[in-house]
């Protein structure tokens, strides 16, 4: 996942690590978007959309991993450090609101990313490490697909047949085998087929 994230970031800016982008800001903003999908308005009926909640967790992971490159640019060492911190069985129990707020608060206070806080959020959202990988690869491929189809220039069409591309991605991922060696390629091809048909 770290290699895929580095390639995606380099696609946006060749020297992305040295740019000092505010990754922490993207983390807490994504936390806000996650809350919208969970629902927090006690004054109206809201039903959590867990597919979209989990996709927001994946978005947070994109920015979180990016932030961690600044602390440790060596992929092997960074992967080992993340693996040590990413222990779901040791994560405290919290509800989604509390876990999201704790991660956002940490990001705002430290201007960094906390893998242990993220692990608590994963657990609260029912996201296993395997599901994190499967959905991360899917979203990473979607991000490349967006870039290939004009996201940066503003010509990309995010709504396909009246639904956001993220919603189509969720459906696509349910039909594919994440353990297949050609998983990223299969996701890309499925996205391309849907995009051409729906736009």
pLDDT in tens, 112-153: 999 999 999 999 999 999 999 999 999 999 999 999 999 988
Residues 103 and 139 in one domain: no
Helix 165-174 with 183-198: angle, nearest 10 deg: 130
Q: Are residues 115 and 152 in the same domain?
A: no
CA gap 182, 196 in Å, rounded: 21
Domain stop point among 68, 95, 127: 127
159 has which bridge partners?
164
Place of tokens 């991605």: 169
Q: Are residues 64 and 136 in the same domain?
A: no
In this structure, the answer to whether residues 28 and 109 fall within a common structural domain is yes
Same domain membership, residue 183 and residue 108? no
For the chain, the residue count is 199
When divided into structural domains, the chain yields a total of 2
C-alpha–C-alpha distance, residues 180 and 14, integer Å: 30
Q: What is the CATH number of the domain that holds 108?
A: 1.10.4010.10
Residues 6+ positions from 2 with CB-CB distance below 8 Å: 65, 69, 75, 78, 79, 82
What is the tens place of the pLDDT at every residue in 60-78? 999 999 999 988 888 999 9
Q: Is a pLDDT exceeding 90 seen at residue 90?
A: no
115 shares a domain with 41: yes
Is residue 118 domain-shared with residue 148, that is, in the same domain?
no
Q: Judge if 52 and 15 occupy the same domain.
A: yes
Q: With cut-offs at 50, 70 and 90, classify the pLDDT of residue 180.
A: very high
From 112, 127, 142, the end of a domain falls on 127
Do 108 and 158 belong together in one domain?
Answer: no
Question: How much is the pLDDT for 72?
Answer: 85
Q: Are residues 121 and 143 in the same domain?
A: no
106-137 b/e with 16+ CB inside 10 Å = b? bbeeeeebbbbbbbbbbbbbebeeebbebbbb
Question: Domain ends where: 109, 127, 145?
Answer: 127
Structural domain including 184 reads 132-198
What percent of the chain lies above the pLDDT cut of 90? 80
Same domain? For 118 and 138 the reply is: no
pTM (two decimals): 0.87
My answer on whether 146 and 172 are in the same domain is yes
The pLDDT of residue 86 is above 80: yes
């Amino acid at each position: 996942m770290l290699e895929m994230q580095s390639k995606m970031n380099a696609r946006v800016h060749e020297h992305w690590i040295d740019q000092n982008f505010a990754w922490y800001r993207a983390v807490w903003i994504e936390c806000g978007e996650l809350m919208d999908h969970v629902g927090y308005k006690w004054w109206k009926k809201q039903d959590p959309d867990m597919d979209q909640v989990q996709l927001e967790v994946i978005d947070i992971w994109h920015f979180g991993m990016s932030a961690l490159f600044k602390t440790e640019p060596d992929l092997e060492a960074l992967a080992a450090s993340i693996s040590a911190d990413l222990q779901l069985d040791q994560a405290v129990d919290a509800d989604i609101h509390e876990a999201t707020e704790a991660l956002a608060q940490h990001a705002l206070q430290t201007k960094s990313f906390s893998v242990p806080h993220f692990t608590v959020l994963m657990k609260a959202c029912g996201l296993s490490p395997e599901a994190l990988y499967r959905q991360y690869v899917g979203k990473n491929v979607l991000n490349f697909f967006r870039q290939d189809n004009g996201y940066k220039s503003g010509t990309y069409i995010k709504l396909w047949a009246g639904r956001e591309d993220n919603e189509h991605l969720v459906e696509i991922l349910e039909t594919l085998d994440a353990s297949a060696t050609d998983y990223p390629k299969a996701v890309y091809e499925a996205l391309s087929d849907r995009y051409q048909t729906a736009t």
